[in-house]
Amino acid sequence: MEYRYLKLEVEDKVALVTIHRPDKGNSLAPDVLEEIETVFVDLAKRQDVNVIVLTGGDKYFSAGFDLNIIRKLEKVSNEEYTALFHRAYRAILFCEQPVICAVGGPAIAGGFDLTMMCDIRYASERARFGQREIVIAVTPIMDPLWRIIGMGRAKEVALTGRIYDAYEAEKMGYVSKVFPDGTLQESVMAIAREMATHDRACLKETKRLANKLVNEDLDGAMKIQEWLFRSYIGSEENHQRIDALQAKLARQRKEKKT
């Protein structure tokens, strides 16, 4: 499928999705949201994709809502647009494969919300994060934000509407790592390619497990994890990967001796 506002590349079982609306700071007009929903729904079905990377490029991630469009909405006519936002969010959040977000610049309001839907977030030094909905009298998304950084910090982000730099976001646990400017995409793609070598089914189950455990008590969580562990250990894939790992370690030991 051809996209107008997205670029899609698939290589080494990694799909790179780039939001591409540079004249508008990658702002989220309805057409952009429709394409985001479509691409993630389609990628979830692809057997040649184990990991997905979502980015907006090196200059910015997304300026968020297209305010020119929002300004024209009325309470009686906003249902279609708001539903579209949440379909796009859900397509990312509940995509079967792990989704890594590479934030090269500002990720504001709706753009921030997109980063929230990803499983892992990496940022460049130029990245900025802000849940700015409160500034324009719109209620923000608190979940899954509070699951990522805790309720107290999530309230601060949502209620102040302030913008955080990349290192503040890393310190609060929202971003896993900050990379020097100009090295983000290369670094994140290397991480994604390594992750994509892992067993596809195990990647999917681990993501599903992480999402499910939040709502379980400790006993229930332990039982689910035991059942999954039992389902995978001793499988043919498990045996093959152990053999490959042991062979690799043996080669490394031999090389050290010589």
Mean pLDDT of successive 10-residue segments in the chain (258 residues)?
A: 93 97 90 96 96 95 80 61 86 97 96 96 97 86 94 96 97 97 96 96 92 83 78 79 83 83
Beta strand extents in 83-229 (DSSP E only): 99-103, 106-108, 120-124, 128-130, 163-165, 177-179
Residue 58 belongs to some domain of the structure? yes
The whole-number pLDDT of residue 79 equals 67
**Which whole-number Å values give the CA distances from 192 to 101, 121, 157, 239, in the listed order?**
10, 12, 28, 24
The whole-number pLDDT of residue 116 equals 96
Number of domains in the chain: 2
For residue 189, give both structure tokens. Answer: 């793609």
> Is-contact 88 36, C-beta < 8 A?
yes
The whole-number pLDDT of residue 256 equals 84
Residue 159 belongs to some domain of the structure? yes
Residue 210 belongs to some domain of the structure? no
Are residues 44 and 84 located together in one domain of the fold? Answer: yes
The whole-number pLDDT of residue 225 equals 79
Are residues 23 and 138 located together in one domain of the fold? Answer: yes
Cα 175 from chain centroid?
11
The whole-number pLDDT of residue 47 equals 95
The whole-angstrom separation of Cα 57 and Cα 47 is: 26
Residue 172 belongs to some domain of the structure? yes
Q: What is the pTM of this model?
A: 0.88
Residue 208 belongs to some domain of the structure? no
Are residues 84 and 170 located together in one domain of the fold? Answer: yes
Are residues 184 and 221 located together in one domain of the fold? Answer: no
Are residues 168 and 233 located together in one domain of the fold? Answer: no
The whole-number pLDDT of residue 254 equals 83
The whole-angstrom separation of Cα 121 and Cα 66 is: 23
Residue 10 belongs to some domain of the structure? yes
The whole-number pLDDT of residue 71 equals 67
Identify the CA nearest to 54 among candidates 20, 24, 84, 25: 20
**Containing structural domain, residue 253:** 216-257
Are residues 21 and 136 located together in one domain of the fold? Answer: yes
The whole-angstrom separation of Cα 196 and Cα 51 is: 6
Are residues 126 and 248 located together in one domain of the fold? Answer: no
Are residues 84 and 177 located together in one domain of the fold? Answer: yes
> Is-contact 180 125, C-beta < 8 A?
yes
